[in-house]
């Protein structure tokens, strides 16, 4: 078996495939990386001369793209060509939670993975290592293997063969480049030792040997789900504690600091916020729940499902607090929403707490002015499923009279944004929001004006000295 690796293909040019292949291409200049995607618009953005047009925002990505693009990193929609020449194919397509049918609401929709496997089966030549990179339910490798092997049986191309490996990606958005450059570990699951070594040789160029772990394929798949489930569980735990802090007079930041000093607990991932978002946490936990239910492990399923339930409750709790503090109604009141991305340093809004919180406030009749430095208005429109104010006025939309409306501001550096606002609600921890001049802002707002800080980023003295009322997540001594 010739495992001389020269050409790499990655199917899916998204938040995982794009940065991962860019890092590999920068570290391995002798290998060719072809990133392919059926979304031609996305590919055009990856190839755009203006780096501000890249489809995703990730600190450090532009620099690496400049170094590698059209040198040994290529973006295209030509799946056939990229697959034919590939020795290794990474599958990095989207795997959202199924909306209908068997397993709806819990299991992942594998239709994009299946379609990718079929493309691989159709065009692959010689021996091809197929690597699951997307987060997938346990035993997906088996599905991929079945598709590839049946293609092999039906094909007259006797020479084709496949090895399927699991190599989950642990990067977090916003720190993807740092995480890829210096991963805590690289996990490779499989049963073909040669293929596993061939894949590990790519990482070995920059990742220390002891960080590369070999496991069986199911352990690798389950480790990825478990890792995300544990992280999400920490956030639901601290968010649950924040609610207790608020009613008892404790401060969740002090509690986090105190428990984080215990080396068994550790200090990371203990920031109470508006509830976790992102494309992975909820989806992966629900995959675990589905798996547990499938095997009759009801208590296990209930345990993990509660992590998601607390998160949903927590997001709802925050919008309810806003309404209560504003004398029980936000109808026709202008509220400034700062941050729509699910965390800072990304333009991704998938499962962002801002979506639920804004929808709830719109439902209560609020008029929202939304700003995010990296998320654009059309993305917000997709997420809220309602046109912004201007388009609503111009169209004959049958918007429910009682619902509020929203508009978008590209900039935050215009004090008029805050004019006549009853509250400012911080939902994403962008650096810009830490530097706001609250004295100037307060002068524009309607007294008694509120700041709701769900990310603990404002300087509390500056806000209070400006005469604003402040609510912070998990702060039992907040203004009444």
Rounded distance between C-alpha atoms, residue 7 and residue 85, angstroms = 6
From candidates 31, 113, 212, 280, binder to ligand UDX by CB under 6 A: 280
Q: Which member of 9, 10, 245, 280 is catalytic?
A: 280
- Minimum CB distance to ligand UDX smaller for 253 or for 343: 343
- Minimum CB distance to ligand UDX smaller for 260 or for 467: 260
Q: Is 92 in the site for ligand ADP (CB under 6 A)?
A: yes
From candidates 19, 189, 278, 373, binder to ligand UDX by CB under 6 A: 278
Verify cis geometry, omega within 30 degrees of 0, for the bond prior to 394.
Answer: no
- Residue 192: name its binding partner from ligand UDX, ligand ADP, none (Cβ under 5 to 8 Å by kind): none
Q: Is 406 in the site for ligand UDX (CB under 6 A)?
A: no
Q: Is 194 in the site for ligand ADP (CB under 6 A)?
A: no
Give the pair of three-digit tokens for residue 447: 């007294």
- Minimum CB distance to ligand ADP smaller for 116 or for 220: 116
3-state secondary structure of 405: strand
Rounded distance between C-alpha atoms, residue 168 and residue 20, angstroms = 11
Nearest to 167 by CA among 127, 206, 140, 205: 140
Per-residue contact flags (x/-) with ligand UDX for residues 316 to 355, judged by CB under 6 A:
--------------------------xx------------
Nearest to 89 by CA among 64, 65, 124, 43: 124
3-state secondary structure of 9: strand
**H-type alpha helices, 249-384:** 252-260, 281-294, 298-325, 353-363, 377-384
- Minimum CB distance to ligand UDX smaller for 19 or for 273: 273
- Tell me the window of 111-119, 180-188, 319-327, 385-393 that interacts with ligand ADP (CB under 6 A): 111-119
From candidates 25, 31, 235, 285, binder to ligand UDX by CB under 6 A: 235
Give the pair of three-digit tokens for residue 238: 């601290």
User: Which distant-in-sequence residues (6+ apart) come within 8 Å of 411 by Cβ?
Assistant: 371, 417
CB 99: neighbour CB atoms within 10 A?
A: 8
Contact residues: ligand UDX, CB under 6 A? 169-173, 228, 231, 235, 269-271, 273, 276-278, 280-281, 342-343
Contact residues: ligand ADP, CB under 6 A? 11-17, 36-39, 42, 92-94, 112, 115-116, 134, 279
């Amino acid at each position: 078996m010739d495992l001389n690796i020269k050409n790499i293909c990655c199917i899916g040019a998204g938040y995982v495939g794009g940065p991962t292949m860019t890092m590999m291409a920068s570290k391995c200049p002798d290998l060719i990386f072809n990133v392919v995607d059926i979304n031609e618009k996305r590919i055009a953005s990856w190839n755009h001369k203006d780096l501000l047009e890249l489809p995703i925002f990730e600190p450090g990505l532009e620099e690496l793209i400049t170094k590698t693009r059209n040198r040994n990193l290529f973006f295209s929609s030509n799946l056939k060509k990229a697959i034919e020449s590939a020795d290794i194919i990474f599958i990095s397509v989207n795997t959202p939670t199924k909306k209908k049918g068997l397993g709806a609401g819990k299991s992942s929709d594998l239709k994009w993975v299946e379609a990718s496997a079929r493309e691989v089966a159709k065009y692959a030549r010689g021996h091809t290592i197929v690597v699951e990179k997307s987060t997938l339910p346990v035993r997906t490798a088996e599905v991929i293997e079945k598709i590839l092997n049946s293609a092999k049986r039906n094909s007259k191309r006797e020479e084709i063969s496949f090895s399927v490996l699991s190599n989950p990606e642990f990067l977090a958005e916003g720190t993807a480049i740092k995480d890829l450059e210096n991963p805590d570990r690289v996990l490779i699951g499989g049963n073909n030792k040669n293929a596993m070594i061939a894949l590990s040789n790519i990482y070995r160029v920059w990742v220390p040997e002891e960080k590369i772990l070999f496991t069986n394929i199911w352990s690798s798949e389950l480790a990825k789900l478990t890792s995300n489930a544990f992280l999400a569980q920490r956030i639901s735990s601290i968010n649950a504690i924040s609610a207790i802090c608020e009613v008892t007079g404790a401060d969740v930041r002090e509690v986090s600091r105190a428990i984080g000093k215990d080396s068994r607990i550790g200090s990371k991932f203990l920031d109470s916020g508006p509830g976790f978002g992102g494309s992975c946490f909820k989806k992966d936990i629900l995959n675990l729940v589905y798996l547990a239910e499938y095997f009759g492990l009801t208590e296990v399923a209930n345990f993990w499902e509660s992590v998601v339930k607390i998160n949903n409750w927590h997001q709802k709790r925050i919008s309810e607090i806003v309404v209560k503090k504003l004398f029980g109604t936000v109808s026709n009141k202008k509220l400034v929403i700062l941050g729509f991305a699910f965390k800072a340093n990304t333009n991704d809004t998938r499962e962002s707490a801002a979506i639920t919180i804004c929808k709830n406030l719109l439902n209560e009749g609020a008029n929202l002015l939304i700003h995010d430095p990296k998320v654009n208005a059309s993305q917000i429109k997709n997420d809220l499923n309602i046109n912004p104010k201007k388009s609503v006025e111009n169209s004959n939309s049958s918007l429910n009279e009682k619902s509020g409306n929203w508009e978008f501001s590209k900039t935050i550096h215009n004090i008029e944004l805050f004019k006549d606002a009853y509250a400012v609600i911080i939902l994403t921890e962008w650096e810009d929001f830490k530097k706001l001049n609250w004295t100037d802002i307060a002068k524009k707002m309607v007294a008694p004006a509120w700041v709701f800080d769900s990310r603990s980023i404002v300087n509390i003295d500056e806000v209070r000295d400006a005469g604003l009322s402040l609510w912070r997540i998990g702060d039992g001594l907040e203004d009444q």
